[in-house]
Structure 1
């Protein structure tokens, strides 16, 4: 008799879990509160402009390819992407501009020419980043940290001997200040803390593992946009027989005698052999698991930062802009103090522009651009967001005007806004935090929920709020770790 699996939520980890369990022979059904799949990895259309609404950086594409290969298909027949020649364009108020080329030698020369930083420092930093990745990824990214055999396998034992070299005992900023002489380069490498919603002045230097993904492996762009990650995997899952129920919000997980038996949807009970939760862990325990034992230590951990995004259709082309663009704050430390200590938005925020029309021309009309305009902000703690948004918009526009020598506001043809409140309501992310619990202490990796329940049999977890963390690659790996725990 075919076993049945129910998945709550169709974020990218939920879809990946559905694919993996269907391949294992399960009859899989997915219940999604929204009317569309993908969670944060979705899209919006405003007039003639299309925007990827959430994650905009694509790394480790092999994690997507692997799902097609598991299904016996050629990934390139279903999902196409290209490697970027330039990962990002950086801008500072004093007129300094820098390109992070995918070619390591070209990037090192750019840094030496523009900033006077020895090219050897770049090469050494990225060598260390690769060393961290090779040492830690098999342990922290590909295995459960909550199983005893993870800590006794040969790779783990080898990693114990490398602890001092892995950045556990210093902060990201401290490590980068030792590595680089120019403060702008320190700032550039500190930015990678924001990839999981953390503070570089507090998070461990182990997060210097992240540049390896972007520089040594590469940054990529799906030819049909980031939303095509969702669409291609969603289509694959349907081809494998996965059934989706949109607009169907789970009321609770049915637990009998310490075992998950199914879920309740609109007071209708649906039974299964396995239940997988892709909903934010914190909100899941507050709602669909509210009658069960609460992991208070995990639930009370500080949350990651959130985002304020303005989707702007811009009636002009800016040739100096590319797919990824960063306009740095002149006081990075103070910006993070505002986000994590004061719970507000700094008046001189670092601004990120993602412009997919530079690579996918039909995302905007001719001679126009689609600006995904984002600043890092605190998670929702009841602030006066309407006031903060109005102030932030003025500050963002003034900053872009100064650096680009233009007047942005008259160029804005269409606009939509996403803030921590709407992130929470659309994606069930606790407080609108983008990455679940923050990573602002050396034990953060161990303070994420496991990919299974230790108290409820046959209940599993995936997604950015559980191990190994947030972001597309880690969400896909959470599905891999989870599915390997389930017998076919």
Structure 2
């Protein structure tokens, strides 16, 4: 009889974990509280428009391809993607704008021509990002930080000698001010802190690892949209014999003699040889692990920022916009002070607009666009979100109108809204935080839950709220780390 693994949650990490365990020979059952797989990586369809509901940036596609290779499948048979020639379009209130070309030399030339920043500064910054990645990725992204072997292997020993160059002892903003002359370039590279819900004026400069992924490796787009990452891996999992049970909310992980033995759904007890939790770590301990020892230090860590997203069907096209677009705030420092300290969105927010219809025209009616319009906001701490949403919408529209010299409100044909309350409701993310605990101090990497329980045998963890962190690549890597820990 094969060994039985139960996975709680079918977020992208849960699906990846199910594939990896099935390939290892486990009989895998996945229990999901929602009626669909994917967690945050889902979609919305309304009035002829399709929106990718959650993560909108695709990097490190090899983490997806690896799952197909493990299963002996050909990736293009399930999933296809293309590399973007331009990673993002950036706009400022004074009329400045640049295209972040995928080709580094082209991007450097663009920055020098449009912003007067010496192009060698771009090359140096991206080489520094590569250096951080080469030294930290093997340690922090691909291995458990909670095993002694990680710290005694040759990769770790080499990195110890480079700590001063890896940005651990300065903030992202401090490092970027040393790298660039133009404040707009500092702001652009500070933006990468938002990729894991952090504050560039507090988070360590080690997060300057992120530009390497976007520029030196590349940004990509799944040909059927981001939701196809979920759907293709879901199909692969089913082909490996994984069984999914939707609308099945787990009530408890049952532990006997210090070992996870089963899960309980209402009155039904389902035995297991091992249990994998893909639910947000904080809410898992509050609910399905409430009877077990609580890791209070981890549970009490400050949470990452959240998001307020307006999904707008726009009855017009804007040729100056592409897949990824950023309209920057004029006062980035004040914006982050509001998000992380005043717990309110800033009146002049940085606006991100993702438009998949630029790559996949059938995501919007002809002559229209599907705008995923987002600002970073604090996580839910009881704010008056109805008031916040109304004020934020007004500020977002005014900003778009100023920069694009248009009147966008009459063009909005349909609207859906996602805020921290609904993020928590739909995904069980504590306080609606997108990335679990924040990374606003140099020890943040060590303040994430391990991919295993040190107190309960045969209980494992994966997903954005545990090591190595949030975002599609790190969630997929959490499943890989977790599976490799299982003997």
TM over 0.5: yes
Q: Distance in 2 between matches of 1:83 and 1:27?
A: 36
| Aligned pairs (5 A) from 1:143-292 | 143-292=143-292
CA offsets, 1:264-291, max 9 Å, x none? 0122100010000000000000000000
Q: Distance in 2 between matches of 1:444 and 1:383?
A: 26
SS at match of 1:375: strand
| Aligned pairs (5 A) from 1:424-435 | 424-435=424-435
| Aligned pairs (5 A) from 1:443-454 | 443-454=443-454
Q: Distance in 1 between matches of 2:106 and 2:239?
A: 43
Q: Distance in 2 between matches of 1:77 and 1:269?
A: 38
Task: Identify the range of structure 1 (120-129 vs 260-269) with the bigger mean alpha-carbon deviation.
Answer: 260-269
CA offsets, 1:55-109, max 9 Å, x none? 0000000000000000001112211000000000000000001100000000000
Residue 486 of structure 1 and its aligned partner are, at CA, apart by: 1.0
CA offsets, 1:290-313, max 9 Å, x none? 000000000000000000000000
Q: Distance in 2 between matches of 1:250 and 1:216?
A: 42
Q: Distance in 2 between matches of 1:240 and 1:407?
A: 51
SS at match of 1:151: helix
Residues 1:311 and 2:301 aligned together: no
Q: Who is 1:87 aligned against?
A: 87
Q: Distance in 2 between matches of 1:397 and 1:62?
A: 38
Q: Who is 1:411 aligned against?
A: 411
The answer to whether the Cα contact below 8 Å between 1:129 and 1:210 also exists between their aligned partners in 2 is yes
The answer to whether the Cα contact below 8 Å between 1:42 and 1:227 also exists between their aligned partners in 2 is yes
CA offsets, 1:397-418, max 9 Å, x none? 0000000010000000000000
Q: Who is 1:337 aligned against?
A: 337
Q: Distance in 2 between matches of 1:53 and 1:155?
A: 38
Q: Distance in 2 between matches of 1:183 and 1:200?
A: 14
CA offsets, 1:398-454, max 9 Å, x none? 000000010000000000000000000000000000000000000000000000000
The answer to whether the Cα contact below 8 Å between 1:251 and 1:267 also exists between their aligned partners in 2 is no
- The alignment's C-alpha RMSD in Å is 0.4
Structure 2: stretches of 5+ with no match in the other structure: none
Q: Distance in 1 between matches of 2:474 and 2:317?
A: 34
Residue 368 of structure 1 and its aligned partner are, at CA, apart by: 0.1
| TM-score using structure 2 length | 1.00
CA offsets, 1:96-150, max 9 Å, x none? 0110000000000000001111000000000000000000000000000000000
Q: Distance in 1 between matches of 2:88 and 2:245?
A: 38
Q: Distance in 2 between matches of 1:73 and 1:7?
A: 23
Q: Distance in 1 between matches of 2:254 and 2:195?
A: 35
SS at match of 1:41: coil
Residue 262 of structure 1 and its aligned partner are, at CA, apart by: 1.2
Q: Distance in 1 between matches of 2:375 and 2:64?
A: 28
Q: Who is 2:139 aligned against?
A: 139
Q: Distance in 2 between matches of 1:253 and 1:369?
A: 45
Residue 36 of structure 1 and its aligned partner are, at CA, apart by: 0.2
Q: Distance in 1 between matches of 2:48 and 2:117?
A: 43
SS at match of 2:251: strand
The 4+ residue runs of structure 1 with deviation greater than 3 A are none
SS at match of 2:371: strand
Q: Distance in 1 between matches of 2:226 and 2:405?
A: 30
Structure 1: stretches of 5+ with no match in the other structure: none
Q: Who is 2:127 aligned against?
A: 127
SS at match of 2:451: coil
Q: Distance in 1 between matches of 2:51 and 2:76?
A: 23
